[in-house]
Amino acid sequence: MIKKISRNQKRKVRHIRLRKKVKGTSERPRCNVFRSNKHIYLSVIDDTKGHTLTYANSLEKDLREKLQKKEIKYKDLIVEVANRLAERCKKLNITKLVFDRGGYKYHGNIKKIADVLREKGIQM
């Protein structure tokens, strides 16, 4: 019997395949992207040590309140989260990242995250 594989399962398989190629080091950590239906999560990871160096997400108090009051749209929320991640990377003197798209297509919101990080001076 043929079973239909869910979209999220396919994404997870793509992410595993991508992770075999993309590795983060202390000089050039990996920027991981995860998105859910309501929120976006960005983290900067050093794979050699297995540590998360910094992160930004839409669950931070002020962003969550803006989202609940519908003061900010999802597109603008993504830009704000990417800006916060760029600021936190600069505080840690991280100027180069390896972009891990998390199995998502490099299109739309995922591309917007990468573009915002590049505009803020982070090389990918």
pLDDT in tens, 18-28: 888 888 888 89
**Domains along the chain?**
32-119 (3.30.420.100)
Structure tokens at 72: 């900010």
Please say if the pLDDT value at position 86 is more than 90.
Answer: yes
Dihedral sign computed on CA atoms, order 104, 109, 112, 117: negative
* pTM of the shown model: 0.86
Which position has the higher pLDDT, 81 or 74?
Answer: 81
Average pLDDT, the chain: 92
Nearest to 31 by CA among 55, 51, 14, 59: 55
